[in-house]
Amino acid sequence: MESFQDVLFKLKKYWSDRGCIIQEPYDLEVGAGTMAPETALRVLGPKPYRVAYVQPSRRPADGRYGENPNRLYKHSQLQVILKPTPDDIIDQYLQSLEAIGIDLRKHDIKFEEDNWESPTLGAWGIGWQVMLDGLEITQFTYFQQCGGIDLDVVPVELTYGLERIAAFLQGKDSVYDIEWTPGVTYGDVRLAEELQFSVYNFEMADVPALWKLFDLHEKECQRLLDAYKDYPDKKRFPVLPAYDQVLKCSHVFNLLDSRGALSVTERVAVIARVRKLALGAAQCWLDQQNLQSEAAGAAEVAQ
């Protein structure tokens, strides 16, 4: 039987063998692997990139106090970005399933329309949810736009739902019964975290403090973005720290949402505020990339 961590190892190895950088999770709270700069920023511009990483994804509103066998406040995604997309991507993807022990001849695989969209990131793509015997195991997306910018090169994003896949492989009805490694269950490792964060997210997070945090992070981000234009040495400019502030805003927004602190109009307005920051950071990042590639081009010509 494949343990939870075996599945992680094998998928990472599989994509490593296909030229991916294996990254560690981004060390800030994010709602999805897409939010990590390794995806949200790297998909911009013409430069090829291949990366895979496991991203713990926090969605405060999805928490269930550890009582629901399938729903988690924090779940793990294996995020794969291949930029540009190889022509045989679907075959490569299907082989990755074989690599973790799924004999496709004995199972039923379907690709069902599902177009992913993130209004806060100004990002969307075209794709499918991949169904294995009726279970959604992967979100498969051809990115079209990110940070409100049409992408020069179309990357594919594969997002594997690791708990679901492990539960499927192990035939477990509850994620908490998944064997993490022999003798240790997923529940042993994570149940307390699910419970405590559910209590915090739904009952105890201080709403006025959250609003303050949101304002602070927003202000800090905007201050940086405003400074970009006149900053003399652009390659030194801290675009990545500015983007971190976007992520913090996004997480605080999710917390406010799970606390039920946002009315309809507020919700729309706050999404727009985060989106504005995300678009600004994406613009700066892309500009910085272009300047660097121009500089590299000029250096080549000089030689």
Partner 1 sequence: MSLPLLLEIGTEEIPDWMIEPALGHLQALFQELLEQNRLKAESVKTDATPRRLVLRAEGLPERQPDAEELISGPPASAAFKDGQPTGAALGFARKMGVDVADLTIQNTPRGEYLCYLKRTAGRATRDILAEGLPQTILGIHFPKTMYWTGKGGPRFIRPIRWLVALLGAEVVPFEVAGVKSGDRTSGHRVLGQQGIAVSTADYEQALKANFVLLSAQERRRKIESEIEALLQGTGLKVRPDPALLNTLVYITEYPTPILGSFDPEFLKLPEEVLVTVMRHHQKYFSMEEADGRLAPRFIAVMNTNSDAEGLVRHGNERVLRARFNDARFFWSVDQQKKLEDRVPDLAYVTFQAKLGSYLDKTRRIVKLSRRLAKLAGVESAAVERAALLSKCDLTTEMVKELTELQGVMGGLYARAQGEPEEIWRAIYEQYKPVGMEDSIPSTATGRILALADKVDTLVGCFRVGLIPSGSKDPFALRRAAQGVVKILVEGKLSLPLSKLIGKDQALMEFFLDRVRYYFREVRGFRYDEVNAVLAAGCEDLTDVESRLEAIQAVRPTENFEPLAASFKRIKNILKQAEFAGGGVPDATLLEQGPEADLYSAFQALRSRVKRLRKKREYRTALEAIASLRPQVDSFFDRVLVNAPEPDIRLNRLTLLHNLLSEFSAIADFSEIVTTLADARGPAASPGTRP
262 is a contact residue toward partner 1 (CB under 8 A): yes
Give yes or no for a contact between 43 and 143, defined as CB atoms under 8 angstroms apart: yes
* Nearer CB in complex with partner 1: 265/303: 265
The per-type count for the chain, helices as H runs and strands as E runs, is 8, 11
Phi, psi for 53 (deg, rounded to 5)? -160, 150
47-106 residues in contact with partner 1 (CB under 8 A) are 68-71, 84-85, 87, 90, 94, 104-106
Shortest Å, Cβ 153 to partner 1: 6
Report d(CA 196, CA 288) in Å as an integer.
41
232 is a contact residue toward partner 1 (CB under 8 A): no
Residue 107 to residues 83, 97, 132, 212, Cα–Cα distance (Å): 29, 11, 7, 51
152 is a contact residue toward partner 1 (CB under 8 A): yes
Shortest Å, Cβ 22 to partner 1: 25
215 is a contact residue toward partner 1 (CB under 8 A): no
2-21 residues in contact with partner 1 (CB under 8 A) are none
Piece of 7-15, 29-37, 144-152, 240-248 that binds partner 1 (CB under 8 A): 144-152
The set of residues, in sequence order, having a beta carbon less than 8 Å from that of 26 and lying 6+ positions away, is: 35, 36, 37, 38, 53, 55, 247
Shortest Å, Cβ 216 to partner 1: 25
Report d(CA 247, CA 32) in Å as an integer.
11
The contact set with partner 1 (CB under 8 A) reads: 68-71, 84-85, 87, 90, 94, 104-113, 115, 125-126, 128, 132-135, 142, 144, 150-154, 168, 171, 173, 260, 262-265, 267-268
